[in-house]
Protein backbone atom coordinates (compact mmCIF):
# COMPACT_ATOMS: atom_id res chain seq x y z
CA UNK A 1 0.00 0.00 0.00
CA UNK A 2 1.26 3.46 -0.89
CA UNK A 3 1.97 5.47 2.28
CA UNK A 4 -0.47 8.29 2.99
CA UNK A 5 1.99 10.32 5.12
CA UNK A 6 5.60 10.45 6.25
CA UNK A 7 6.18 10.93 9.97
CA UNK A 8 9.73 11.91 10.91
CA UNK A 9 11.73 11.74 14.08
CA UNK A 10 13.79 14.93 14.43
CA UNK A 11 17.28 14.57 15.97
CA UNK A 12 19.35 12.04 14.07
CA UNK A 13 16.85 11.98 11.24
CA UNK A 14 16.37 15.53 9.96
CA UNK A 15 19.22 17.35 11.70
CA UNK A 16 22.03 17.19 14.29
CA UNK A 17 22.28 19.81 17.06
CA UNK A 18 24.55 17.89 19.42
CA UNK A 19 27.44 20.37 19.26
CA UNK A 20 25.15 23.33 19.92
CA UNK A 21 23.39 21.57 22.79
CA UNK A 22 26.65 20.44 24.43
CA UNK A 23 27.77 24.07 24.62
CA UNK A 24 24.40 25.04 26.12
CA UNK A 25 24.56 22.21 28.68
CA UNK A 26 28.04 23.21 29.82
CA UNK A 27 26.96 26.83 30.24
CA UNK A 28 23.97 25.78 32.38
CA UNK A 29 26.09 23.44 34.50
CA UNK A 30 28.38 26.35 35.26
CA UNK A 31 25.54 28.81 35.87
CA UNK A 32 23.83 26.44 38.30
CA UNK A 33 27.08 25.78 40.19
CA UNK A 34 27.02 22.05 39.51
CA UNK A 35 30.39 20.32 39.61
CA UNK A 36 30.67 18.04 36.58
CA UNK A 37 33.02 17.31 33.72
CA UNK A 38 32.74 19.10 30.39
CA UNK A 39 30.07 17.55 28.19
CA UNK A 40 30.69 16.86 24.51
CA UNK A 41 28.57 16.42 21.42
CA UNK A 42 29.07 12.67 21.79
CA UNK A 43 27.49 12.82 25.26
CA UNK A 44 24.42 14.55 23.84
CA UNK A 45 24.24 12.14 20.91
CA UNK A 46 24.36 9.14 23.25
CA UNK A 47 21.07 10.12 24.93
CA UNK A 48 19.33 11.64 21.94
CA UNK A 49 15.86 10.23 21.34
CA UNK A 50 15.01 9.98 25.03
CA UNK A 51 12.58 12.35 26.74
CA UNK A 52 14.60 15.37 27.89
CA UNK A 53 14.49 14.65 31.63
CA UNK A 54 15.42 11.02 31.08
CA UNK A 55 18.21 12.05 28.73
CA UNK A 56 19.73 14.45 31.24
CA UNK A 57 19.53 11.79 33.95
CA UNK A 58 21.35 9.32 31.68
CA UNK A 59 23.95 11.86 30.51
CA UNK A 60 24.86 12.90 34.08
CA UNK A 61 25.14 9.63 36.04
CA UNK A 62 25.76 10.13 39.74
CA UNK A 63 24.23 13.59 39.80
CA UNK A 64 21.75 14.13 42.64
CA UNK A 65 18.16 13.88 41.44
CA UNK A 66 17.40 17.44 42.55
CA UNK A 67 20.24 18.67 40.35
CA UNK A 68 19.07 16.46 37.48
CA UNK A 69 15.66 18.10 37.63
CA UNK A 70 17.14 21.61 37.88
CA UNK A 71 19.48 20.95 34.99
CA UNK A 72 16.75 19.37 32.88
CA UNK A 73 14.52 22.41 33.32
CA UNK A 74 17.37 24.82 32.60
CA UNK A 75 18.73 23.01 29.55
CA UNK A 76 15.26 22.58 28.05
CA UNK A 77 15.12 26.37 27.79
CA UNK A 78 18.82 26.86 26.98
CA UNK A 79 18.75 24.28 24.18
CA UNK A 80 15.90 26.07 22.42
CA UNK A 81 17.62 29.44 22.78
CA UNK A 82 20.98 28.13 21.58
CA UNK A 83 19.52 26.18 18.67
CA UNK A 84 17.36 29.14 17.68
CA UNK A 85 20.47 31.31 17.63
CA UNK A 86 23.15 28.95 16.34
CA UNK A 87 21.09 26.26 14.63
CA UNK A 88 22.23 22.76 13.84
CA UNK A 89 23.32 20.74 10.84
CA UNK A 90 20.60 19.61 8.45
CA UNK A 91 21.41 16.22 7.01
CA UNK A 92 22.31 16.35 3.31
CA UNK A 93 19.22 16.37 1.14
CA UNK A 94 16.75 17.52 3.81
CA UNK A 95 16.45 21.11 2.60
CA UNK A 96 16.26 20.04 -1.04
CA UNK A 97 13.86 17.10 -0.74
CA UNK A 98 11.39 18.10 2.00
CA UNK A 99 9.52 20.57 -0.27
CA UNK A 100 9.16 17.96 -2.99
CA UNK A 101 8.00 15.31 -0.53
CA UNK A 102 5.41 17.72 0.89
CA UNK A 103 3.93 18.13 -2.57
CA UNK A 104 3.32 14.39 -2.70
CA UNK A 105 1.95 13.60 0.76
CA UNK A 106 1.61 15.07 4.30
CA UNK A 107 4.76 15.43 6.42
CA UNK A 108 4.65 15.26 10.22
CA UNK A 109 7.25 15.32 13.03
CA UNK A 110 7.11 13.26 16.26
CA UNK A 111 9.96 13.69 18.74
CA UNK A 112 10.82 13.06 22.38
CA UNK A 113 12.13 16.62 22.61
CA UNK A 114 11.13 19.40 24.99
CA UNK A 115 8.37 21.90 24.30
CA UNK A 116 9.33 24.49 21.68
CA UNK A 117 12.18 22.52 20.13
CA UNK A 118 10.30 21.42 17.02
CA UNK A 119 9.09 24.98 16.49
CA UNK A 120 12.71 26.13 16.75
CA UNK A 121 13.74 23.60 14.11
CA UNK A 122 10.96 24.69 11.77
CA UNK A 123 11.81 28.38 12.14
CA UNK A 124 15.58 27.96 11.85
CA UNK A 125 15.42 25.59 8.89
CA UNK A 126 12.80 27.58 7.00
CA UNK A 127 10.82 24.37 6.45
CA UNK A 128 7.76 25.18 8.57
CA UNK A 129 5.45 25.45 5.56
CA UNK A 130 6.06 21.83 4.61
CA UNK A 131 5.07 20.10 7.88
CA UNK A 132 1.38 19.88 8.62
CA UNK A 133 1.52 18.60 12.19
CA UNK A 134 3.92 17.68 14.99
CA UNK A 135 3.93 16.34 18.52
CA UNK A 136 6.50 15.86 21.27
CA UNK A 137 7.07 14.65 24.80
CA UNK A 138 7.41 18.22 26.03
CA UNK A 139 3.85 19.01 24.96
CA UNK A 140 2.13 15.87 26.19
CA UNK A 141 4.39 14.04 28.64
CA UNK A 142 3.49 10.92 26.66
CA UNK A 143 5.70 8.27 25.09
CA UNK A 144 6.80 8.46 21.49
CA UNK A 145 4.49 5.56 20.68
CA UNK A 146 1.53 7.43 22.16
CA UNK A 147 2.45 10.66 20.40
CA UNK A 148 2.83 8.83 17.11
CA UNK A 149 -0.58 7.28 17.67
CA UNK A 150 -2.05 10.69 18.40
CA UNK A 151 -0.89 12.25 15.13
CA UNK A 152 -2.02 9.20 13.18
CA UNK A 153 -5.48 9.48 14.73
CA UNK A 154 -5.97 13.22 14.39
CA UNK A 155 -4.82 13.20 10.77
CA UNK A 156 -6.94 10.18 9.86
CA UNK A 157 -3.95 8.24 8.55
CA UNK A 158 -4.22 4.66 7.37
CA UNK A 159 -0.74 3.76 6.18
CA UNK A 160 1.95 6.24 7.30
CA UNK A 161 5.65 5.45 7.38
CA UNK A 162 7.66 6.47 10.45
CA UNK A 163 11.23 7.51 9.63
CA UNK A 164 13.69 7.39 12.52
CA UNK A 165 17.14 6.33 13.59
CA UNK A 166 16.83 4.54 16.94
CA UNK A 167 15.36 1.43 18.49
CA UNK A 168 12.89 3.68 20.32
CA UNK A 169 11.62 4.90 16.97
CA UNK A 170 11.25 1.35 15.72
CA UNK A 171 9.38 0.38 18.88
CA UNK A 172 6.99 3.33 18.44
CA UNK A 173 6.27 2.27 14.87
CA UNK A 174 5.65 -1.32 15.97
CA UNK A 175 3.29 -0.20 18.73
CA UNK A 176 1.18 1.58 16.10
CA UNK A 177 1.53 -1.16 13.47
CA UNK A 178 3.03 1.18 10.89
CA UNK A 179 6.02 0.72 8.62
CA UNK A 180 9.39 1.75 10.02
CA UNK A 181 12.10 3.35 7.89
CA UNK A 182 15.54 3.24 9.51
CA UNK A 183 17.73 6.26 8.80
CA UNK A 184 21.08 4.49 9.04
CA UNK A 185 23.00 7.78 8.85
CA UNK A 186 21.59 8.88 12.23
CA UNK A 187 22.59 8.24 15.82
CA UNK A 188 21.42 4.72 16.56
CA UNK A 189 21.12 1.11 15.51
CA UNK A 190 17.97 -1.00 15.33
CA UNK A 191 17.17 -4.70 15.55
CA UNK A 192 15.03 -4.68 12.42
CA UNK A 193 13.24 -2.39 9.99
CA UNK A 194 10.83 -2.43 7.08
CA UNK A 195 12.91 -0.09 4.93
CA UNK A 196 16.41 1.35 5.22
CA UNK A 197 17.73 4.64 3.90
CA UNK A 198 21.41 5.51 3.90
CA UNK A 199 20.79 9.05 2.62
CA UNK A 200 17.77 11.28 3.21
CA UNK A 201 17.17 11.54 -0.54
CA UNK A 202 16.25 7.85 -0.60
CA UNK A 203 12.97 8.58 1.22
CA UNK A 204 11.49 9.73 -2.09
CA UNK A 205 11.77 6.22 -3.47
CA UNK A 206 9.42 4.89 -0.77
CA UNK A 207 6.39 7.04 -1.52
CA UNK A 208 5.52 5.82 -5.01
Q: What's the alpha-carbon Rg for the chain, to the nearest Å?
A: 17
CA dihedral (62, 68, 74, 77) positive or negative: positive
pLDDT in tens, 47-106: 988 889 999 999 999 999 999 999 999 999 999 999 999 999 999 999 999 999 999 999
- pTM for the predicted model, two decimal places: 0.90
Residue 202's pLDDT band (cuts 50, 70, 90): very high
pLDDT in tens, 142-193: 999 999 999 999 999 999 999 999 999 999 999 999 999 999 999 999 999 9
53: left (phi over 0), alpha (psi -120 to 50) or beta: alpha
Q: What is the DSSP string of 14-43?
A: TEE-HHHHHHHHHHHHHHTT---PPP-HHH
Question: What's residue 1's pLDDT?
Answer: 82
- Per CATH, the number for 6-16+89-206 is 3.40.50.1000
In DSSP terms, 11 is beta-bridged to 15
110: left (phi over 0), alpha (psi -120 to 50) or beta: beta
208 pLDDT exceeds 80?
A: no
- Look up residue 114 and give its DSSP letter: P
Give the whole-number percent of the chain exceeding pLDDT 90: 97
Cα 156 from Cα 141, distance rounded (Å)? 22
Amino acid sequence: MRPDALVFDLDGTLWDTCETCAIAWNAEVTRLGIAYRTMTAADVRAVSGQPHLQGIRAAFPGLAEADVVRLSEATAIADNEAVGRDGGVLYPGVREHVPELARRLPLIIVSNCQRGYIETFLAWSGLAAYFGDFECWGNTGATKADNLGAVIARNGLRAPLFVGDTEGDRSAADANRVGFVWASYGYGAVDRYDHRIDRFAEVAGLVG
